[in-house]
Amino acid sequence: FHVLPNCVIHFSKWSQLVVSLSGGILDEEALLPAPQNISILSTNMKHFLTWSPVTVPGETVRYSVEFQGEYERDYANEIWIPISECSLIIVTQCNVTEDISATVPYNLRVRANLGSRGSKWSTLKVLFNRITTFLTPPVMEVSADGYHLLVKLEDLGPAFQFHIFYWRKGQERVHKKTVKEISSVVHLDTIEAGAEYCVKAQTYVEAINRSSNFSQTQCVHGSIWMTTALVSFVGFVVGVLALPFLAWKMSQIFQYSCCPVVVLPDTLVISLSSLLFLGCCIFTGRKRLIE
């Protein structure tokens, strides 16, 4: 009576072991866990599929990624397209930016591989559309060079544009400038020396018709060194031109102050010819006396 239950118990354990072993033999994928926590991190139109690692002690697990766009899902029998750059990789992320080429819902999946064995596919819980990418405000540097208001923006790529807003502080009128091609420095406007100007900007992507939040406002003062330099230069030129005249005028003043000019009467005025004649006579008379 007591032996039978033990036999039943042992038979039950043995049957479970057989079933477990047969299950392992028939379904090798069950031995390799599927990746978990599948998600997409998307910032500034750069999309990365990420997942938690599958750990097998002493082994290197590899991963493969596939995607399915709207066309494949609705018109091509729901086929999946492998991403060659993310085939049998050892990292737990895949750059899918080049494959997400349209503003439509995409599905992505990943599975783990160990030798000839592969796990089940793990798929995104929610379809991804690149319109949901997070756009960051542009990094910018505002400066004033003489009478020019300048701004330097980071280059995010050909898909990005920038809306720049600038105004003179204390005035309500705001100017807007759209920049499509980023050069080293963007010239905004000509400004007044000494006045304060403020600038803010936002990132814009035409393909998804979305803009980022505004950047932090930056304000600069119009440089006054150009005005100072111009005034100094004009003063120098005026000084150089006026100095000879002032020197001549001062000499005249001192001359008339120290040695005033006395006008001789006509009786004392001797012409040059009279002086020459008188001198000649004196010289001739002296010569005769000597002889």
Fold category of 36-132 in CATH: Immunoglobulin-like (2.60.40)
161 with 226: CB under 8 angstroms?
A: no
Domain assignments of the chain as residue spans, ordered by start? 36-132, 140-223
Mean pLDDT score, 186-194? 89
- Nearest Cα to 183, choosing from 143, 205, 153? 153
Instruction: Evaluate if residue 145 carries a pLDDT over 70.
Output: yes
pLDDT classification of 167: cutoffs 50, 70, 90: very high
Is residue 172 very low, low, confident or very high in pLDDT (cuts 50, 70, 90)?
confident
pLDDT, tens digit, 9 for 90 and up, residues 113-129: 999 899 999 999 999 99
Question: 140-223, which class in CATH?
Answer: mainly beta
What are the Cα distances from residue 122, in Å, to 51, 54, 117, 208?
9, 12, 15, 28
Q: Does pLDDT of 261 surpass 80?
A: no
pTM, to two decimals: 0.66
Query: Are the beta carbons of 163 and 202 closer than 8 angstroms?
Result: yes
Name, of 43-57, 249-263, 266-280, the range with top average pLDDT: 43-57
Q: pLDDT-derived band of residue 150, with 50, 70 and 90 as boundaries?
A: very high
Residue 222, pLDDT score: 79
Q: What is the dihedral of CA 154, 157, 163, 167, to 10 degrees?
A: 20
Q: Give per-residue pLDDT as tens, 226-254.
A: 444 444 444 554 455 666 666 666 666 66
- Name the percent of the chain lying above pLDDT 70: 66
- CB under 8 Å to 106, separation ≥6 — which residues? 67, 68, 69, 70, 99, 100, 127, 128, 129, 130
Among residues of the chain, what percentage have pLDDT more than 90? 57
Relative to beta strand 62-68, strand 81-82 is antiparallel
Residue 36 pLDDT: 97
Q: Please tell me the distance from the alpha carbon of residue 220 to that of residue 143, in angstroms, as a whole number.
A: 6
pLDDT at site 267: 56
**DSSP labels for 159-175?**
TEEEEEEEEETT----E
Tell me the C-alpha to C-alpha distance, in Å, between residue 97 and each of 204, 215, 223: 18, 25, 44
The confidence band for 51, taking pLDDT boundaries of 50, 70 and 90, is very high
